[in-house]
Structure 1
Amino acid sequence: MKHRTISILVVILATAALFAQPDAPVKMVVLDLKSPGNEGVVLADRLYAELTKTGLYEMAPREKRDAAVKEMGVTAADDPANLVKVGQKLKAEKVVGGSVGQIGDTWSLNLIAVDVATGKAEQQLTKSLKGKVDGLLLLTDAFARQVSADRARQVKGIQAEKLDLSKRSEALKARKVQLEKQREANKDNLAKELESIDKKKEALDKEHQLTGEKIAVQDGKIEEVKASGKKPATDPAKTKTFLEKKQQDILKKKEALDGDKEKARARTIKADGDLVKEIGLVEKAQAETAQKQASFEPKPPEPEPAPVDTIRKPEPPKKPVRKAKPKTKPIN
């Protein structure tokens, strides 16, 4: 029996809001308003036109909207639950709907803008107007301005925050470079200071050696005085004592220089530790800033899972049916 392979593709649908930048045009649907005549269509077209002018919204084409409404069988364009369903179907972030009513010479207008993700009404307008229906156009324009103004404030705030984050990122980057340069400068200064101390020690070593040679000379003079018994103009013993004291002072200076070297190293190590700690704080701040900046970038869509093949197991082979051999009759 042949094997049959059935490929099953699992498709994950996500709303477009997950992939949009926070300050990018918002995907919006405007539904025809529920009305006794064609007023709802006219006002919806007016809303569509006014909101499109702002550049703040990416409006769903009427053809797609009408096809979705027809497929879903939505009749009440003023019901927030229906607005959310249409928004989800068209992958929109916001949906505007409402209704128009008339009692005698009085017209009533109800407009609502719903956030698809939360299901909450973000803007709403309920007004009554006596007289001609034309006045509803002005109310519709006012609602479009209200919706756009709220979005414009959001975009302005987001763009300002993005600019602040960009400036902060650059400042942190510059500070880190400055701190790293300071570390290198401290190391160079330490090397120069140690080199200077070593040169001073070399000079002291030479002076110590020269003083030792002078002491040896005075030792010879002391022996000569003892041998001759004559008293010299300058007492070599006193000169020797002076030179020995000088040698001790030289050794003390060398010890002090060794102490200066240790202090210089300790001072540089402490300064370097402080710089490393500050660099760590800067890097932490950089990571936090980068994370906030990333929150303003569009998220990539999740990759679709690889097709899963379901293989039908072959049926076990059937055992062949043995046919009974016909009995042969004996020949008389």
Structure 2
Amino acid sequence: MLSTLTKERTEEAVPTPPPRPARSRLRGWGHWASVAWFLVPALVLFLVFVLAPIVVAVSTGFFKWGGIGPMDDFVGFANYTRLFDDQVFLGDLGRGLYLIVLSITVQLPFALLTAVLLNQKLRGRAVYRMLFFAPYILSEVVTAVLFTMIFLPGAGMADHLAGLLGLEGLRGKWLADPSTVMPTLFVVMIWKYFGFHMMLFLAGLQSIPTEILEAASIDGAGAWQRFRHVTLPLLGPTIRISVFLSIIGSIQLFDLVWVMTAGGPNHSSETMAIAMFQFGFKRYQVGYASAISVVLFMISLVFSLFYQRYVLRRDLSGAVTSGGAR
């Protein structure tokens, strides 16, 4: 009896929440309507232009199909096994790795050195920044046409410069010889893209508090010691992002190479993207080209996930990194 009375008093003491007014419910619906208004178009575009092509490419890779007519010749994994038996495609993988290594070991240090120099109190440094960044503004096609004229056999500026420097063996070989075409293309890549990485490094350098560098200088640290033990550790997140963008760009390189060499001579400058285009739009082997595109996508995806998980982990969590460490 006592417990019943206590329960009744407790229920009377706890006020019953008033019913939610209709205006509040309308506001809730309005909030979700606003979210849907901005989210649905983006989701539709993502589905149509990203997910749907991926699904089509994966499914097409299991067929032998020329792009015209019904897709009814199912071959399973034959296109994929053909890929890894193809010495040209394996060479494409090797050339992609070649560009990655040179980008990391040559292009990025060159961009970092230029950024450090332009971060100093230098007369006219704004003009230098503009000049170094200007090539990145040009489209890849314009850049490719420009350097095709520069490396034109016999009449190009590169041949005349080689003659003045006594490098007669290089004349006419820049884009025409298998032994020189990839280094030549990489020179064009440096000219085109190093300005972008330079601006990234420059932004990272300008975000470093001057008080830290002044404190290191007061403690007796020289210019190299300040750069090695202060600047580089604080620049670690920017360096890692720059490395990531450089690797992804090297893996997916297409338009610059296509306009300059179309993958020649004799496949010596061909990349995976070039091979995909050749088989899909020149040889009408769409099933095989789709298999190449799937492999290219998987390489980029796996690398991106691995890099984000093990290299960018601390950067993404907002921690201060040091010395380029994970």
* Greater fraction of residues in helix: 2
- Considering the TM-score relative to the shorter chain, is it more than 0.5? no
What TM-score results when the alignment is normalised by the length of structure 1? 0.21
What TM-score results when the alignment is normalised by the length of structure 2? 0.21
* Greater fraction of residues in strand: 1
Pick the structure with greater CA Rg: 1
